[in-house]
Amino acid sequence: MSQYEYRERRQRQRFLAQRAGTTFFWAAFNGQRVPLLDLSLEGFSIAASAPPTSDEAFAFELRLEGIPDKIKGQAQQMNFVPGEPHGQIGCRFVSFEGEGAMRLHEWLTIHVIAGATVRITVKEAEKIVEGPSLI
C-alpha cells in the first residue's frame, strides 16, 4: 500500500462531473485538458492508470462546460484508488486565485439545481453543496 491510500477523505458532498454521458467539469494542468470524475468544495478526482509520483502542490485550472469563466489555483494529490479500466487520483484544493472558491460554490449550486429531479431553491441547493459527504 502506498502513502496515497490512507490520506483524509473529503468531508463535503461530492458531485459527479458527468451526467448522461456528458462531462460538465474539466481540469487543465501540464498543458492537458482532463475530464473530472467528481468535484466538491474540497477537491476533485481524475482517472489515472498509476499512483501520483509526487505530493507537491500543482497549478490547476477548472472549467465548466459552455462557460468561459475558469477557476485557477493550487491542488495536491492525496490518494490513488486502483480500478479497471482505470484508477483514480483524488486531489484537494490548497488555494484559489481571486474569487475562485466563491465561483466554485456557485458552479456546484447551479449543477445541483440543474440535476435535481424535483424543484429546489437556491438555498436548498447551497445546503446540499455545503453539506457532509454521503459517499
For residue 76, the enclosing domain spans: 3-98
- Is the residue at 103 inside a domain? no
- Is the residue at 122 inside a domain? no
- Is the residue at 130 inside a domain? no
Distance of alpha carbon 127 from alpha carbon 13, whole angstroms: 10
Per residue in 96-121, pLDDT (tens digit) is 999 999 999 999 999 999 888 999 99
Q: Are 128 and 112 in contact (CB under 8 A)?
A: yes
- Is the residue at 113 inside a domain? no
> pLDDT value at position 6?
45
Q: What is the CATH number of the domain that holds 90?
A: 2.40.10.430
- Is the residue at 135 inside a domain? no
- Is the residue at 112 inside a domain? no
Per residue in 122-131, pLDDT (tens digit) is 999 999 999 8
In the structure, what pLDDT confidence band is assigned to residue 133 with cuts at 50, 70 and 90?
low
Name the domain count of the chain: 1
% of the chain at pLDDT higher than 70: 90
